[in-house]
Amino acid sequence: MRIPPGVSEKDFSEALRQFEEAVGKDWVFTSDEDVAMYRDSYSPFWGEPDELVASAAVAPDGVEQVQKVVRIANTFKIPIYAISTGKNLGYGGSAPAYSGSVVLDLKRMNRILEVNEKNAYCLVEPGVSYFDLYRYIQEKGIKLWVDVPDPGWGSPVGNSLDRGGGYLLPQFRNHFDSHCGMEVVLANGEVLRTGMGALPGAKTWQEYKSGFGPWIDGIFSQSNFGVVTKMGFWMCPAPDSYLAGTVTVPRYNDLSPLIDILGYLENTGCTNGMPFFGSPLLARGPLGQGGPVPDAELTALLDREGGPDPDAMDAYAAKKDIPHWSCTVSFYGGPKANQGNWEFAQEKFSAIPGAKFSFGGAYKLPLTPEVQAKFNLPQFGIPSLQMFSIGARSETNPTPGEGHIWFSPIIPRTGEAVFEANRVFRAAAKELGLPVPTFSLPTCYWERAFIFLFGFPITHDVETNKKNRAAFRKMVAIAAEHGWGEYRTAPAHQRAVMDTYSFNNHALLRFHETLKDAVDPNGILSAGRYGIWPKHLREDEKV
Amino acid sequence: MASRREFLQASIVALALPITAQAGLSTAAAASDSALRVIPLYKAIFDERFPASVAFGAEAHSLGLSAYSIRGDITDLWFHDLDAQWKKKPVAVAGLTEQGPLFCLERLAWDHGMRVVYRGDHRYLPSDAIEHTLTGPEGALRQAALLENDGWAARVAAILARLPEGPSAPAKIAVRGRAKAPAHAEPEDLISWVIAPVAGARIMRQA
């Protein structure tokens, strides 16, 4: 049995015995086989000595048991690492950031405490998955949608605390932004409720976010200042209808006005569905699907020193008679409103000479199963696992890996930034021996910024993983040099990413550490998560 | 009008290969196996896009198993069937699919006290060859040599339909057989698998 670092075997044995008293013998896991369930399936250190692994796991069934476990951990200074459903693959999964920690598995806390249809919110425990919430809504005929990530087997609590995103209307896509109120067990075992929840008997805990005084919810996201045991979320009332349309624009430099006009339409509420960029010329579909390998002429154009020449790209596009860019916009609402907004959007996009439009259909909601098959289900609040069928061995993916981690920098919402990011990342990929993307288009989870998503493959080959880890960190550094910060990353790279947020001698990290020392002096909660290490591990430079 | 799934079920019946009685079980093997308990399979999963997988499904159907078709995505199978079933009572499932379906089902099954108790990696090689690497109960692997012959996918179904129950240290074996190279857009490797309840494994989610 593995012992957490810095803990004696005697103390660990006693702590395990007390954990068993607190949660029941059946819910403390120490066998190698059970603890192996908590390995990160997408670990970039798979099979290496530095792979982050748990020593044991404890699964409480309610907040009172969480409090007991935390108090015991504090007594014996056992590092614990909270997970909800443990499906954060691509960003760390269920393995702790500090190897040897005891995983605090909240999966048994899977109660849906309230779904309020009239005011469109829910209150859930951490073990509730998106599938669980969707099934609950369907079985009870509640006319609400939940904004789901893709894949949908994670949990609203887990995904939002890692600041993941989804596919519905903008006010729901940023999953942390759409939460309202949380309950947290602190390192000393006390229970805290945020926002209006701090008022006993509050009637608006899931309706008014900030409560009174400093709004502290954010400090419990991407951090290790407490164990969240309940969270409220605003949900989307089931829309009446859906309409989609696509605009294509012919020239290379048309991307800039395309993005600017889209920004206007989104920020004024005209388009409220998630937009998708594509490139018919560069064979990237609206969901980022890749096409055939570009021909030699196109590759040469893209590889030009200093980036593609717009005139040369336009000549190539004219020869192929294929437009450079596309943007699929969508609308949720009443059918007349959707049609009117689509007409207005076309009017605005028509400021770009040569813009053409294609109608993607107007549908009454909910979609029939036959129509659903044409769409990406998360755009309709339906969780899916279809993503796992992508990545299989194919002509364009001859060497599929064992998973991936996401390199996911945030860039400005401008055409200039998209062009610059492509030039920089293309050059970096070539230098680092990585697959060179033809042209990467941003994803539009967030209202006011773009995100680029690049999957770094994980393999079970040590040398390949080592090379990819080094390349990942180099890409993070290159992105930071250009003012593009990572928004989220796996524990293997959290320190490296946090190091790039270095304004004023790492003032932000120093602030995090001040908070950490105050609220968790023994450093028992999720040590190392998002680069926040407890005092005793920082000072000794043990990590 | 038949639903898509019903149509596929009809296609499987039409495809039923005359392998059933000869599914690779020698008389001696059958006699000794008759004393073993076999894992009852709730469903056999096949991917309708891949002929080898369809052949697996056809054989499973002809052996009396419930064969279920997917197109790489197990969402419907899990959400509308296995999730509720496994919460009530964990039951074993088998399949011949790409890695994605197995990856998802394996992890979903963990919470129901289930594990992968058998895995076969079937990798097409140049010159119409195929390599089968099987890991599972020794009793099942005794049949591995049968995969050297034509119709390997159907034979895999026959092996899995009689997978012995009970704890045993997994054995591993690799054999090579003959098989036409997969057509364009078919995968170069498929995985056969069985996920089954394992005594003593933790159950985290129940009805």
- The closest CB to that of A392, out of B74, B99, B108, belongs to B99
Q: Is residue A150 over pLDDT 80?
A: yes
10-residue mean pLDDT profile of chain B (207 residues): values are: 41 39 40 68 96 96 97 95 95 96 95 94 89 90 82 94 82 85 76 93 79
Report pLDDT for B35.
Answer: 59
Retrieve residue B129's tokens: 């060859």
Q: Which residue has the tokens 């309706």?
A: A207
CA nearest neighbour of A91 among A149, A130, A138: A149
Cβ(A117)–Cβ(A142) below 8 Å: yes
Q: Per mean pLDDT, which range of A84-93, A235-244, A355-364 is the poorest?
A: A84-93
Residue A252 annotated as catalytic = no
A136 is an active site residue: no
pLDDT band at A406 (very low <50, low <70, confident <90, very high): confident
Taking CA–CA distances from B99, the nearest residue in chain A reads A392
- The confidence band for A328, taking pLDDT boundaries of 50, 70 and 90, is very high
* Chain B residues with CB-CB distance to A384 below 8 A: 73, 75
Give the tens place of pLDDT for each residue, A232-269. 999 999 999 999 999 999 999 999 999 999 999 999 99
pLDDT tens by residue, A309-321 = 999 999 999 999 9
Q: For position A435, what pLDDT does the model report?
A: 82
Query: Is the predicted pLDDT of residue A344 greater than 60, yes or no?
Result: yes
Residue A305 neighbours by CB distance under 10 Å: 6
pLDDT at residue B160, rounded to an integer: 96
User: Which residues on chain B are in Cβ contact (under 8 Å) with A154?
Assistant: none
DSSP for A159-211, please give it.
HHHTT-B-SS-HHHHBTTTTEEEEEEE-TTS-EEE-GGGGSTT-S-TTT-S--
The interface predicted TM-score of the complex, written ipTM, equals 0.91
pLDDT band, residue A458 (cuts 50/70/90)? confident
Amino acid identity of B158? A
Predicted confidence at residue B5, as pLDDT, reads: 43
Cβ A229 vs Cβ A125: under 8 Å: yes
Which pLDDT score, from 0 to 100, does residue B3 have? 39
pLDDT of res. B31? 42
pLDDT of residue B11: 43
A87 touches B: beta carbon within 8 Å: yes
Mean pLDDT of A410-427: 94
Q: What digits encode the pLDDT tens for the residues A174-192? A: 999 999 999 999 999 999 9
CA-nearest residue of chain A to B185? A394
Q: What is the reported pLDDT for B112?
A: 94
Is A393 in contact with B79 (Cβ distance < 8 A)?
no
In whole angstroms, how large is the CA radius of gyration of chain A? 24
Which candidate in B45, B48, B73 is best for mutational testing of the A interface (most A CBs within 10 A)? B73
Confidence check: pLDDT of A540 > 70 = no
Lowest-confidence range among A12-21, A22-31, B31-40, B100-109? Answer: B31-40
What confidence score (pLDDT) does residue A92 get? 82
Q: What is the count of residue pairs from A and B with beta carbons less than 8 Å apart? A: 63
Q: What is the DSSP letter of A130?
A: H
pLDDT digit string (tens) for A257-300? 999 999 999 999 999 999 999 999 986 655 555 555 678 888 88
Residue A391: which pLDDT band, with cuts at 50, 70 and 90? low
Nearest Cα to Cα of residue A443 among A421, A427, A460: A421
Task: Please say if A488 is a catalytic residue.
Answer: yes
d(CA A159, CA B85): 26
Chain A residues in contact with B99 by the CB 8 A cut-off are 392, 400
Q: What is the pLDDT of residues A95-148, one digit of tens each?
A: 999 999 999 999 999 999 999 999 999 999 999 999 999 999 999 999 999 999
Q: Do A131 and B189 touch (CB under 8 A)?
A: no
Q: How does strand A121-124 pair with strand A227-234? A: antiparallel
Three-class SS state of A45: coil
pLDDT at A398: 53
**pLDDT given for residue B17 in this prediction:** 36
**pLDDT at residue A463 tops 70:** yes
What pLDDT score does A245 carry?
Answer: 98
The model's pTM: 0.92
For residue A215, is pLDDT > 80? Answer: yes
Please give the average per-residue pLDDT across A72-82, as a whole number.
Answer: 98
Residue A308 pLDDT > 60: yes
Q: Give the active site residue among A42, A91, A242, A316.
A: A91
**Most A-contacting residue of B71, B76, B202 (CB-CB within 10 A), to test interface:** B202
| A108: nearest CA partner in chain B | B204
Alpha-carbon gap, residue B121 to B99, rounded angstroms: 10
Marked catalytic residue, from A42, A316, A332, A487: A487
**Rounded to whole angstroms, how far apart are CA atoms B68 and B48?**
9
Whether the per-residue pLDDT at A462 is higher than 50: the answer is yes
| pLDDT, position A293 | 64
A493's enclosing H/E stretch is: helix A491-500
Tens of pLDDT, residues B66-104:
999 999 999 999 999 999 999 999 999 999 999 999 999
- Tell me which residue in B73, B74, B204 faces A59 most closely, judged by beta carbons: B204
Hey, are the CB atoms on A388 and B202 less than 8 Å from each other?
no
Q: Of A488, A495, A529, A530, which one is the catalytic site residue?
A: A488
Average pLDDT over residues A335-345: 98
Long-range contacts of A305-313 (CB under 8 A, 24+ apart): A306/A423, A307/A419, A307/A420, A307/A422, A307/A423, A308/A252, A310/A251, A310/A252, A310/A253, A313/A251, A313/A252
Cβ-nearest to B111 among A41, A107, A395:
A107
Cα–Cα distance between B206 and B151 in angstroms, integer? 40
Confidence of residue A526 (pLDDT cuts 50, 70, 90): very high
Residues of chain A with pLDDT > 90, as a percent, come to 81
**A433-446 pLDDT, tens per residue?**
888 878 889 999 99
Averaged pLDDT of chain A: 93
